[in-house]
Amino acid sequence: MLIRLLYSLLLAFLSPVLLYSLYKKKAGKPSFGPRWKEHFGFTPKTNADQPIWIHAVSVGEVIAAIPIIQGIKQQCPEQAIVVTTTTSTGAAQLSKLGELIEHRYMPIDFAWCVKGFLRQVKPAQLLIIETELWPNTLHCVAKAGIPISVLNARLSERSAKRYAKFQFIFNQLAQNLSQVLCQYSSDAERFIALGLTQQQVHVTGSVKFDINVPSSALEQGQVLRAQIGKHRSVWVASSTHQGEDEIVLAAHTQLQQSLPNALLIIVPRHPERFEQVFNLANSFGFETVKRSSGATITNNTNVYIADTMGEMLTILASADICFMGGSLIGDKVGGHNFLEPAALSMATLTGPSFYNFAEIAHLLMEKQALSVCDNAPEISAKLTELFNHCERRLQMGQAALQVVESNRGALSKTLTLIRH
């Protein structure tokens, strides 16, 4: 009780800064509009009795949640599902599911906000995607007799060490959890080392391996590739963060010395950076086109900015090689998911920092389906090698796809465990 009280006082002190960051207007960021009140527990009632509540904080977690949502609906079409996100970008991604679910914004982690949400929604159980653990939320939900499962859970060694420094806080969190379904045995071992019981922890694998590539994405990717030119050398810098685009553009400058027809597609991780990256590419002297402009890609176009939401698979399907961002800026991000390009049989490169996806990275590297590049010259050199040796590039892509196919099945295990 005392720990949660102290935590709530700290949260109250920090909340103006957190809310400012959440609500700050940025180019390309969807507005919350009048729905900002939902963050404070003023939540509209749902249309169904005792829905399953799934929390997916933002875009990455929503992508992981989608196959779970679809799996639940396939098994039980009448089961109502309410999905909460914290961010408006996550809500925009979720809107593609249409009437399959109801969306609400996640209440801030004050007890009165969470209780307001629970009164209106009355969920039968809470499914949290990827270890988004909030003390007051967990306490209020567990006290209401609602089972809590953490799905697709991961716990890096770095995060485990941080929790261990504040073991008393982790104990408060853990006592409210019904079960934790981990991506890998290494994640499970870390949770158990922190005090969870063997009965609470299960290893299901990552539901992200159960990725489904819609035929529409492949078709749209081929349409884009036809616009680009089938015989050009095309690479994607996916989910880039501030500080990485300069490195990627420098690599492209070097690449064009040997392959002047090469095209770089940049997909910034955050929509508010779209315009900034466009201007940066222009400052490098590249002829740059934004996807949102509808402008034609010509032979003179050097850089294409994918400044639209929800088209990652389409963009990847139009290219030959993927460089995965979030991996070149020290330990700030820890990489992003390699499985989308892998599912598309793409040769993939990464920077040296990928600790959030270490297990997937190592699986891919064991099969020689992923290469690590530390800087712009190494990225350029590897791209040049792969573009000049088509057979090697295709072998990397096929090996990546085999890793995805051999690790499918997490979704079925997850659905079985959340039914019990």
Cβ pair 53, 84 in contact under 8 A: yes
Distance in angstroms (rounded) separating the CA atoms of residues 29 and 91: 11
The sheet with strand 321-324 has its strands ordered as: 288-290, 303-305, 263-268, 234-240, 321-324, 347-350, 370-372
Between the alpha carbon of residue 308 and those of residues 118, 332, 338, the distances in Å are 34, 25, 20
Q: Is 323 left (phi over 0), alpha (psi -120 to 50) or beta?
A: beta
Alpha helices, DSSP H, located in 166-244:
167-174, 185-193, 215-228
Query: d(Cα 254, Cα 385) in Å, to the nearest integer?
Result: 13
Distances in whole angstroms, Cα of residue 126 to Cα of each of 53, 141, 249, 419: 5, 8, 43, 12
280-284 contact pairs (CB < 8 A, 24+)? 280/245, 280/246, 280/249, 281/245, 281/249, 281/305, 284/249, 284/250, 284/253
Say which of 38, 61, 244, 359 is annotated catalytic.
Answer: 61
Q: Dig out the tokens for 372 from the structure.
A: 């690590």
Classify 84 as helix, strand or coil: strand
One-character DSSP codes across 354-419:
-GGGHHHHHHHHHTT-EEE--SHHHHHHHHHHHHH-HHHHHHHHHHHHHHHHHT--HHHHHHHHHH
Query: In Å, how far are 32, 55, 378 from 302, measured between CA atoms?
Result: 35, 40, 20
> Amino acid identity of 46?
T
Q: Terminal CA-to-CA distance of the chain, rounded, Å?
A: 30
Tell me the C-alpha distance between 209 and 102, whole Å. 25
**Separation between Cα atoms, residue 141 and residue 155, nearest integer Å:** 22
| 244 SS3 class | coil
Instruction: Give yes or no: 61 in active site.
Output: yes
Cβ 157 vs Cβ 190: under 8 Å: yes
Q: Are 349 and 326 in contact (CB under 8 A)?
A: no
Catalytic residues: 61
